[in-house]
Amino acid sequence: MNIILFGPPGAGKGTQSKYLVKKTNGFQVSTGDLLRDEIKNETEIGKIIINDMNDGKFVDDEIINKIIKNIIFDPKKTNKLIFDGYPRSLTQAKNLDIMLNDTNQKIDFIFFLNVDKNTIVKRIEKRKIIENRSDDELNTILRRYETYMKTTKPVLEFYSKKANFHEIDGALEIDQITRKIDTFINV
C-alpha cells in the first residue's frame, strides 16, 4: 500500500506518517528528513539546498525527484511507501505518477491535512522548542506557509478529483486525526 500525506508545514504529516509506517509495515518517505540528512552529511546536494530551506523556499523539483526516484525504485520498498510532504508541486505529482507507473505501483490513499495558518504557527513554535530545528524560525515558518499555499494549490486541485483523496481537519488532536485515517485504511 502506498499513501500520500500532504498539508502545510506543521500539519502533522510526520506524526501520522510514523503511525502509518508501523500500521502498514511501510517506509516513511519524508522529503524534509531526506533533505536535512543531505545537509547534515554535508553532501553536494546538502550544500545546494541549505540556503533554500533556511530561506523558507522549496528545494528544486529536479533535486527532490532524484532523491525520491532512488526510493521508489528500491524493490524492498515496493508498495510500502508513506509519502510525507511529497509531492509539493504539480511537477512532482506528475513525476511521481510516472515513477510509480514505471514500477507497476499506484497510490492507494491520499490524505490532505488541512490546517489554518494560526494553528501552524503555534505548532511550529512549540516544535522548535522541542526539536530545535533551524527551519522553524517564525519568519521562515510564515514564508514556508505562503510558499506552500501558492505552490501546492495545483497539487490539491490535481489530487482532490481522485476517488482515493480524503481531506481531514488537521487542527484536530493527533489521535482524532489517526482515527479518521483508520476509517479508510483496513490493515
Query: Strands across the sheet with 165-169, in order?
Result: 27-30, 81-84, 3-6, 109-114, 165-169
The values of phi and psi at residue 66, to 5°, are -65, -45
Give 129 or 1, the one with higher predicted confidence. Answer: 1
Q: Which one, of 105, 88, 98, 112, lies nearest residue 162 by Cα?
A: 112
Q: Is the pLDDT of residue 67 over 90?
A: no
Q: pLDDT digit string (tens) for 4-49?
A: 998 887 788 989 999 999 999 999 998 878 888 888 998 888 888 8
Q: At what angle do helices 138-160 and 90-102 cross, to 10 degrees?
A: 60
pLDDT of residue 57: 72
> How many other CB atoms sit within 10 Å of the CB of residue 61?
16
Question: The domain 3-182: what is its CATH number?
Answer: 3.40.50.300
110 forms beta bridges with 4, 165
Alpha-carbon span 138 to 41, nearest angstrom: 26
Alpha-carbon span 140 to 70, nearest angstrom: 29
Alpha-carbon span 95 to 103, nearest angstrom: 13
User: Can you give the residue ranges of every domain in the chain?
Assistant: 3-182
